[in-house]
Amino acid sequence: MTLVRFNHMELTYGRGELTPGLRAEIDAFYGDVFGWDGRDVPVMNQQGHLLRVDDEQFILLLEADQPISSPGYDHLGLLMEDRVAVDATLERCRAWQQRDERVQVKEYDDLDTPNLTVHAFYVRYLLPIWFDVQVLEPKPVNA
């Protein structure tokens, strides 16, 4: 079977909401916290905005007549290399939260399963979904 990978996710705002000021705030937070690069792009006869993770992954922000509504914990999971990276990212989010009350952070206790431990937190800022920032730590196999 062919390997399938995610390339992008599109998130929509109401008409007139994706202002230059909002785009700049989004770029500042997600650039600082995750290292993403924000840039304006023309898409489907409008000015869209890309949050570029790398050359193959991005989040596309557009305006629409019926924008996304995500009042719950709908999220995109972000897998980090280790616990230290998750904790450092959480600290950057907390620092932003001290400056901007719109930063939302939901912390969790580690989830222990027989085979692995999930160390994670959720964060949301100006985008209509949460990000689940996590590391999956395999447990040693007993011989």
* Side-chain half-sphere exposure of 134, counting CA atoms within 13 A: 21
State residue 5's pLDDT score: 85
Q: Where are the domains of the chain?
A: 8-64, 75-138
Can you tell me the distance from the alpha carbon of 54 to that of 105, in angstroms, rounded to the nearest whole number?
Answer: 24
- The model carries a pTM of 0.93
State residue 37's pLDDT score: 97
14 alpha-carbon distance from chain centroid? 20
Answer for the pair 57, 88: CB distance below 8 angstroms, yes or no.
Answer: no
Can you tell me the distance from the alpha carbon of 18 to that of 121, in angstroms, rounded to the nearest whole number?
Answer: 27
In the chain, what percentage of residues exceed pLDDT 70?
99
Name, in order, each residue with C-beta under 8 angstroms of 89's C-beta and a sequence gap of 6 or more. 33, 34, 80, 133
Kindly report, residue by residue over 55-103, the tens digit of the pLDDT.
Answer: 999 999 999 999 999 999 999 999 999 999 999 999 999 999 999 999 9
Answer for the pair 80, 32: CB distance below 8 angstroms, yes or no.
Answer: no
| Nearest by Cα to 40 from 61, 56, 55, 67 | 61
